[in-house]
Amino acid sequence: MKTAPLQTVQDFINFITNESNSFIASAGKAVEQLKLAPQQDQTAQLSYEILADLCESARELSGKIHRLKFAYDWELPPGPEWMDHFIDQHLQFRLFRNSLWVERGVYGVLALKQGARILELCCGDGFNAYHFYSLFAESIIAVDFDDTALAHARRYNAAPNIEHRRADIRTEMPEGSFTNITWDAAIEHFTEDEIAGIMAGIKQRLAPGGILSGYTLVERNDGQLHLHQHEREFHSKQDLADFLKPYFAHVQVFETIFPMRHNLYFWASDSAIPFHPEWDHGQTYENGKLVRGKPQSA
């Protein structure tokens, strides 16, 4: 996806003006059609069709604006260490049919306890904490060391039960006891020695029964890093599992493979993790017999 960033303020003004005028024209046409609607049969159906067209125009405008935002974020050096996931929501989901950004939130939710006390490491833009975790959580401490990411999170993804803090998790991981710690799309930004130190801090802060969950990606076939900010990309599911097993009794690593990216997800705990036999929220049957999960009365 290539969209060159605009070169001057006037270019930007012209772009916004042209795209906004196009949407305003569509809206004006819809209003005029609605004014005529009472004089026509099937008023409700006509109104619905006009509104559907107007929604389509609004989505197109949003996609174009977010395409420009993507260009500014990722095609001008040096590039950020965090992703504005509104770009995924308003542009890339529709353009590429890529559900990766939704997967990450949903698989993270599977590990959450009801009324969870969550520590989110390297929260970036705060999208997941707000859109996926906050509904289930008693409290969330979301940390990052990037002031730009935190400013975005506080402005666009704030909630009463989310506290955004600036912290370098190598030396400033918040103290406390947490039922869940999430480390999403960030483990690859650290060296092996740094990850080992961070894992020790995670273990100290996980409450009994607590779960670590997260996401990373498989290294490229050519051996090059996906981003220049990455330090340790994993070779495979086994490589990631081998890294986690020394710290936890139970580790689950699984993958999804998209045309443009090979993804790894993980859950780790000294107690039950999702789809473990003692997990409270699932049952598996084979030939009519319960083989995983706890029996419940009908």
Q: What is the pLDDT of residues 35-55, one digit of tens each?
A: 766 555 556 666 778 788 888
Pairing of strands 137-144, 178-184: unpaired
The least confident of 17-31, 109-123, 150-164 is 17-31
Q: Kindly indicate the confidence band of residue 9, based on its pLDDT and cuts at 50, 70 and 90.
A: low
Q: Give residue 191's pLDDT.
A: 96
**Considering all CA atoms of the chain, what is the largest pairwise distance in Å, rounded to the nearest integer?**
74
Q: Give residue 49's pLDDT.
A: 80
Q: Kindly indicate the confidence band of residue 108, based on its pLDDT and cuts at 50, 70 and 90.
A: very high
CA distance linking residue 60 with residue 241, whole number of Å: 42
pTM for this structure?
A: 0.88
Q: Closest Cα partner for 72 from 141, 11, 133? A: 11
CA distance linking residue 254 with residue 267, whole number of Å: 9
Distance between first and last Cα of the chain: 51
Cis (ω within 30 of 0) for the bond into 174?
no
Q: Name the one residue in this structure whose structure tokens are 């930007």.
A: 12
Q: What is the pLDDT of residues 195-247, one digit of tens each?
A: 999 999 999 999 999 999 999 999 988 878 877 888 899 999 999 999 999 99
**What's the mean pLDDT when you consider all of the chain?**
89
Q: Name the one residue in this structure whose structure tokens are 């996926």.
A: 132
The percent of residues in the chain predicted with pLDDT above 90, rounded, is 63
Phi-psi region of 79 (alpha: psi -120 to 50; beta: other; left: phi over 0): left
Spell out the domain ranges in the chain: 9-79, 98-269
Average pLDDT over residues 82-96: 95
Under 8 Å between Cβ of 252 and 273: yes
Count the neighbouring beta carbons within 10 Å of the beta carbon of residue 297: 3
Question: Is 237 exposed, middle or buried, given 0-12, 13-18 or 19+ CB atoms closer than 10 A?
Answer: middle
CA distance linking residue 33 with residue 50, whole number of Å: 8
The CATH code of domain 98-269 reads 3.40.50.150
